[in-house]
Amino acid sequence: MTKHGLFVAVESRCEVVVFVMMVASECAPVAQAGGLGEVVQGLSRDEMRELADHFAAQKPAPQNFKADPAKAVLGKKKADETLCTMCHLGGFAGQNEIPRVAGQHYDYIVRQLRDFKARKRTNDAGNMTSVSNTLSDADIENLAHYIVGL
Ligand code: HEC
């Protein structure tokens, strides 16, 4: 479950429950959830709640990635230009079903943005696909350097 550096620990308990239930009810394709999908299939509601409590109580893994300040400046510029915070809110704090990205792991952010762009990840109602289409590889890296330090 931590294979892709998932950062579930700091997400709200409700958000974890929702995701687990979406996978369990096949609203979110199991293939997209990777290892998590396989684990979640066949869980009872109580087991899902226990799982959510477990993750909600975790502390985020320490980050040893050092962001490049020059790239972070470019990333902030791109984020402002692309209106990322219109959905993710200021400081990428997240709201409702729009995830918090602040302080997320560098590799995870880069991977998600590339996957949205390549349409390998599609559980965003198209929002991130259209956003990520406007981003170059360098933009994606710069954005990740910026967001990691939030
Ligand atoms: C129009 C609204 C919208 C805009 C603008 C937007 N996002 Fe998103 N973003 C979303 C939604 C919706 C999701 C996925 C929700 C889900 O998975 O259920 C998402 C997911 C993400 C994720 C994956 C988070 C995770 O936990 O897996 C990253 C990273 C991300 N956005 C970064 C950005 C960046 C960087 C920008 C600006 C370049 C941006 N977003 C602009 C709506 C938006």
**Ligand 1 atom nearest to CA at 132:** 38
Domain of 15 in residue numbering reads as 8-56
Same domain, 49 and 101: no
Helix (H, G, I), strand (E, B) or coil at 34: coil
Largest CA distance in the chain: 48
| pLDDT at residue 2 in the model | 34
pLDDT in tens, 62-107: 778 899 999 999 999 999 999 999 999 999 998 888 889 998 999 9
The CATH number assigned to the domain holding 91 equals 1.10.760.10
Listed in sequence order, the residues at least 6 apart from 42 whose beta carbon sits closer than 8 Å to its beta carbon are: none
Provide the sign of the torsion angle of the four alpha carbons 120, 15, 3, 138, taken in this order: positive
Listed in sequence order, the residues at least 6 apart from 60 whose beta carbon sits closer than 8 Å to its beta carbon are: 7, 9, 10, 103
| Residue 53 Cα to ligand 1 middle (Å) | 25
Asked if residue 136 has pLDDT above 90, the reply is yes
CB of residue 88 inside a 6 A radius of ligand 1: yes
Q: What is the DSSP letter of 141?
A: H
Asked if residue 143 has pLDDT above 90, the reply is yes
Domains: count for the chain:
2
| Residue 71 Cα to ligand 1 middle (Å) | 20
pLDDT band (50, 70, 90) for residue 118: very high
Helix (H, G, I), strand (E, B) or coil at 98: strand
What pTM did the predictor assign?
0.75
Same domain, 74 and 141: yes
Same domain, 74 and 42: no
Same domain, 51 and 73: no
What is the overall mean pLDDT for the chain?
80
Report which secondary-structure segment, H or E, holds 131: helix 127-133
pLDDT in tens, 15-32: 566 666 666 655 555 555
Q: Atom 18 of ligand 1 has which residue's CA nearest to it?
A: 124
Q: Could you tell me if residue 95 is inside a domain?
A: yes
CB of residue 117 inside a 6 A radius of ligand 1: no
| pLDDT at residue 112 in the model | 94
Same domain, 37 and 86: no
Residue 127 vs residue 7, higher pLDDT:
127
Helix (H, G, I), strand (E, B) or coil at 95: strand
